[in-house]
Amino acid sequence: MSHTSPPVRRVTDWDDEQLSSLAAEHETPLYVVDLDRVAENYERFAAAFPDAHVMYAAKAHTGGAVLETLLDTGADIECAAAGELQRAIEAGADPDTLQYTAVNPPDADLDYATDLAADHPGPTITGGARDTFDRLAARGYDGRVAVRVNPGIGTGHHEKVATGKDAKFGIPYDEVVDLADGLRDRFDLVGIHAHMGSGVLHEDLANHCRAVAKVADLARDVGDEALEFVDFGGGFGVPYHENEEPLDMPTLGERVRDAVGDLAAQVKLEPGRYVVADAEVILTEVNTVKETPETTVVGVDASLATLIRPAMFDSYHPIANVSSPEREAEPVSIGGPCCTSADVFCTDRPVPRPEREDLLAVGNAGAYGYELANQFHSQPRPAEVAIEDGETRVVRRRESMSDVTRVEREAGEVAKDTGTTDDGRERGR
């Protein structure tokens, strides 16, 4: 079965000839996603938790091709915004299977979710603040809800993703039992939810399991026999550095099950990063090589608008020289065309010496890569090409300069024609 595939895919494991061909055909910068690898990663994770309900956390990568692939494997989808609900439905998800985890939700998001529930009684809305439940009730909603708890224990690769101890996320632990009692009179309380952090690897696992055990204890205090599920979120990481080892999934499954203990409710898990991170690379072409007293500066056509994680989280992404992997490695600093010192992919890192027009591959770009792509400096967002069953296809076309200003032009046209503005939000049902 697919889940027996290698537990990690390094950037040097990609087919250089295929990547070079794709870059020549579709230009750079270019995202390349391997949908077969996406399915393999999901199946490997699900195999480690055979008794759990495993959902995919859409925020890691909401591309339609990725969502369709995961739906085909049998995954359900967890969404953190109305746009993700719409994307999941457009990809073919049954609205009754969706779970919406609301974090300080805008009114438009709650309107979308409650309108959806009016036609489909199955979706679950997870609230992380008392206000969220009051706002749901004010909309006449009395359907399925879950309570997001803040366990006070955060894990992950960076303080900005350690959600389990960030006050922004979830109801304080000690308030959940009383809140749950009150919610049962107003809604159909079906679950308890928590998310400890993101990028959890070996050194974080003990802390992660401690938080899991704490949430499981809380579920028993709330009354797990009356709950449909207890959702322990995702956060399981992948090795970004070449010397890091991947999680041992069978061992991970055992440790999490031990931390959970006996629960009458269904255990839910929401992998995101683990499923998509190593299934995608960014291809970028070298345009400048500049020797300086401090370092060799290598300029490429990708930027923090293409991949913002190094600038935002100080994240490490492996980089390979696709054109000439056999060259001797030299310390180089690789950055893009943005007018900021933050636009750097690496500093003084040994890479087979890049030369102008060389093709480089930036690995582990599948999680929060395209999701955080932007139009800084009015740069059009890149194309995305999918590989599946040996075939390739464009799943997201490259934006044009005209696309960058399109919404402004359309806003002017709408205002001129109707005297109103249009926020572009549609129901994807």
Active site residues: 339
| Alpha carbon distance, N-terminus to C-terminus of the chain | 34
Contact 78, 269 (CB under 8 A): no
Q: How far are the Cα atoms of 13, 25, 52, 316 from residue 242, in angstroms, in the given order?
A: 12, 29, 31, 10
SS3 101: strand
Kindly state the helix (H) or strand (E) to which residue 341 belongs, with its residue range. none
Q: Which of 346, 330, 338, 337 is nearest to 291 (CA)?
A: 330
Tokens of 286: 């070298």
Q: CB-based burial of residue 255 (10 Å sphere; 0-12 exposed, 13-18 middle, 19+ buried)?
A: middle
Which letter does DSSP use for residue 201 in this model? -
Tokens of 341: 């010192």
Question: How many other CB atoms sit within 10 Å of the CB of residue 70?
Answer: 26
Cα separation of 147 and 57, whole Å? 17
> What single letter denotes the amino acid at residue 178?
D
Cα separation of 235 and 275, whole Å? 11
Cα separation of 307 and 320, whole Å? 16
Q: Are strands 319-321 and 359-362 parallel, antiparallel or unpaired?
A: antiparallel
Q: Which of 390, 317, 274 is nearest to 7 (CA)?
A: 274
In sequence order, the 6+-apart residues with CB closer than 8 A to the CB of 61 are 33, 272, 276, 280, 366, 367, 368, 369, 370, 371
